């Protein structure tokens, strides 16, 4: 099992323990994607904080040198697009064989008309 898949399963477990349903998790060596279903009383920032804090703690306890980046990106998805997003997350290795995560993220920001400073996006 690759490390991104293993880590995704761990994040799903954190989600279950904190009532943050992780519908699918996936990623590569330098990033992770999560499709989560948030209740109306769980702000996105709180969900991200819980997932990052608990996973960082676990990594540290297991001697893994790891640090999350300071920020994150979050996008809402309509129910009709869930299958497409799920497929995208499950096939990260193939997607990033064609285009880097950084390039893809910048394209997504532009496509969704999110204003950003290119110098600040990746720290």
Q: What is the CATH number of the domain that holds 35?
A: 3.30.70
Confidence of residue 1 (pLDDT cuts 50, 70, 90): very low
Range of the domain at 34: 3-111
How far is residue 4's CA from residue 27's CA, in Å, rounded to a whole number? 6
Q: What is the pLDDT of residue 3?
A: 56
Domain presence at residue 116: no
Is the pLDDT at 37 greater than 90? The verdict is: yes
Within-domain flag for 10: yes
Number of structural domains the chain divides into: 1
The pLDDT assigned to 5 comes to 56
Q: How far apart are CA 46 and CA 53, in angstroms?
A: 10
Write the DSSP symbol of residue 35. Answer: E
pTM of the full predicted structure? 0.81
Q: Establish if 121 belongs to a structural domain.
A: no
In a domain, residue 9? The reply is yes
Structural domain contains residue 29: yes
Cα dist. 117→31, 107, 110, 120 in Å?
20, 13, 11, 5
Q: Is residue 123 part of a domain?
A: no
Which pLDDT score, from 0 to 100, does residue 4 have?
Answer: 56
Residue 70 carries which DSSP code?
Answer: S
């Amino acid at each position: 099992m690759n490390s991104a898949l293993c880590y995704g399963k761990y994040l799903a477990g954190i989600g279950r323990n904190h009532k943050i349903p992780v519908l699918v998790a996936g990623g590569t060596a330098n990033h992770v994607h999560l499709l989560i279903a948030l209740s109306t009383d769980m702000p996105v920032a709180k969900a991200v904080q819980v997932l990052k804090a608990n996973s960082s703690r676990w990594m540290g306890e297991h001697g893994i040198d790891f640090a999350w980046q300071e920020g994150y990106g979050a996008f809402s998805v309509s129910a009709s697009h869930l299958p497409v997003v799920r497929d995208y997350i499950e096939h990260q290795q193939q997607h990033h064989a064609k285009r880097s995560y950084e390039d893809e993220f910048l394209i997504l920001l532009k496509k969704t008309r999110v204003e950003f400073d290119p110098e600040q996006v990746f720290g």
